[in-house]
Amino acid sequence: MKRRNLSIRTRTTVSQQLPKDYEEKLATFCAYCKNKITEKKIRPEHITNMDEVPLTFDIPVNRTVEKTGTRTVSIRTTGNEKSSFTVVLGCQANGQKLPPMVIFKRKTLPKEKFPAGVIIRANPKGWMDEENMREWLREIYVNRPDGFFHKYPSLLICDSMRAHLTDAVKNQVKQTNSELAVIPGGLTKELQPLDIGVNRAFKAKLRAAWEQWMTEGEHTFTKTGRQRRATYATICQWIVDAWAKVSVSTVVRAFMKAGIITELPGNSNDTDSDNDERDPGMLDAVIAQLLNSDTEDEEFEGFVDEE
């Protein structure tokens, strides 16, 4: 690369800052979770973490190779890298993954045939609100393994987003024989398993599907020659496939890193976790690490309104 005057070019980001009293808040949250797990004898398969992942219809990499000194680096997309939607992911401490929910930024549901294994919702903002949170509890959380009859005490871990903390949501969680553990603001990078070790693996696999579609897929164009983005159904199929490819051990290790559990459950498998951090079968491991987009370091500040 030096001989050809090439270098790695990347988009700069600003990392989320930890609060000044983060150590005290971290210890308090971990102690709360451990006390609830011990007191109610909550097993790993009944410890759930849920999180919203903001995504766009185009998922270009943030790092690429270009001539050193080039002021502007162009990356080919369909022009929809700001058209946003939300994927709601949920997973359990034993490695079980719950079906994803996709919230599109629309007033009505798209009239397309969607794949099985995903819940589709829509609202004008394309983001989680109280109504969609209650829907997630009814359609996904309650229907998790052993969750329908509320027989076993459970722990639901989520961040401090307003939609997670309304009285109606809290009452609904309590009715499922579950305790709600709310991660203090600014500490999701330290305490939320999905943020710590799962979301990045999911996004890497989703990006690989988008890149393959951009290079090999069938495309249609507008009268002005602009390439149309992937359909809603295609996007959802990518989400289902990418989520299925995230390994059990990746999920379990994330709960361990967050301090929620201290040992591997008996049904976890460590053999495939290393493959979750890179796009499959495309690049050498070192180069893949350089080019892999690490959007988990960015603080989400809301969606930009579409024109």
Orientation angle between helical segments 232-245 and 199-216, nearest 10 degrees: 130
- Using the predicted structure, report yes or no on whether residue 191 has a pLDDT greater than 50: yes
* 275 contact partners, CB below 8 Å, separation of at least 6: 247
Work out the pLDDT band at 224, boundaries 50, 70, 90. Answer: confident
How confident is the model over 152-166, as a mean pLDDT? 95
Lowest mean pLDDT among 70-84, 191-205, 247-261: 70-84
Q: Are 148 and 154 in contact (CB under 8 A)?
A: no
- Residues 121/103, Cβ–Cβ less than 8 Å: yes
* Residue-level length of the chain: 307
Mean pLDDT, range 78-103, rounded to an integer: 86
Split at pLDDT 50, 70, 90, the class of 84 is: confident
State pLDDT tens for residues 231-279: 999 999 999 999 999 999 999 999 999 999 887 666 555 545 555 654 4
Question: pTM of the prediction?
Answer: 0.78
Query: What DSSP letter does each residue of 127-143 carry, written as one string?
Result: S--HHHHHHHIIIIITT
DSSP states of 173-200 as a string?
A: HHHTTEEEEEPPTT-HHHH-HIIIIIHH
- pLDDT at residue 60 in the model: 57
Q: Rounded to whole angstroms, what are the CA distances from 45 to 37, 137, 159, 227, 276?
A: 12, 17, 20, 44, 22
- The mean per-residue pLDDT over the stretch 31-45 comes to 94
Q: How far apart are CA 58 and CA 81, in angstroms?
A: 5
Closest residue by Cα to residue 75 from 64, 87, 89: 64
As a whole number, mean pLDDT of residues 160-169 equals: 95
pLDDT at 117 over 60: yes
Question: What's residue 206's pLDDT?
Answer: 93
What is the mean pLDDT of the segment spanning 12-34?
80
What does the alpha-carbon distance between residue 70 and residue 6 come to, in Å, rounded to a whole number? 10
In which band, very low, low, confident or very high, does the pLDDT at 301 lie, cut at 50, 70 and 90?
A: very low
Q: Strands 84-92, 47-56: parallel, antiparallel or unpaired by DSSP?
A: antiparallel
Element (H, E) at 23: helix 22-40
Tokens at 107, concatenated? 């007033």
Q: Residue 226's pLDDT is what? A: 79
pLDDT, averaged across the chain? 82
Tally DSSP H helices, then E strands, for the chain.
9, 8
pLDDT-based confidence at 80, cuts 50/70/90?
Answer: low
